[in-house]
A and B are shown apart, each in its own frame.
Chain A
């Protein structure tokens, strides 16, 4: 039990440090059990259960890198299944009724399915624009805002002279993105 806890904590630390293979390892390890459980419990098909599990792993990732999952009070599998349960129920639009043990686990965690994440058209437009923004903007913005890297870590990873250069580049990228949004948002029909 102790060993499992240590292993889970190690995986979390590795993911925080930017090692995506640890996340893939978690994904591959728990996917069959989750899908079997979800298909049995919610009468959903294989595709739906796979989709929900992928969203749950993405939520797990966000919780880890955003520091919402610092120290585990249960196994990583229990967290992942509790998040997955929420994801399935939100996707099926069923009222969320969690057991008291699960409630405490996911109370402050991200559990939103990806397709329900955006709340307005401007956010969806930004997502589309991110596909065209190019490098180095994409990497800088992803490392800073999504992966939680410090400016210093980004400078090292992307081989910039120092963190100030990264800060300036990040500002340029965001300004350019804002201008693109302003321009397109006024031009496109969002009805």
Chain B
């Protein structure tokens, strides 16, 4: 079965064609303007996609610069400890007056 045009263009633009096939394909491009435009469009699509993926990778690098917000366990322990001490003191006072 003959390979479809899309795959041929994709292999040509991606540099996956054998040398002899490239010569034959380029000859067809010279004779067929529609094919030449198809190749041009495919190239632009791959370049545009790559541009966007590059931008997104750059954004992820920039994000890596932002320090992660770490949980301040020390502060949490201090608050929990404080609440526990206050609670215990309150209970002790309550118990003292009750008895």
Contact = CB atoms under 8 A, between A and B. Distances in A.
Nearest to B63: A24
A66 to B, nearest CB: 10
A146 B53 contact: yes
Interface string A146-182: 1000000000000000000000000100110110011
Contact of A146 (B45, B49, B58): B49
Contact of B51 (A24, A55, A127, A142): A127
Chain B interface extent, by class: 20 to 34
A118 B58 contact: no
Main secondary structure of the interface of A (DSSP, over half): helix
Nearest to A27: B61
A54 interface: yes
A125 interface: yes
Interface of B: 6, 10, 41-42, 44-55, 57-58, 60-62, 64
Interface of A: 20, 23-24, 27-28, 54-55, 57-58, 61-62, 114, 117-120, 122-131, 141-142, 145-146, 171, 174-175, 177-178, 181-182
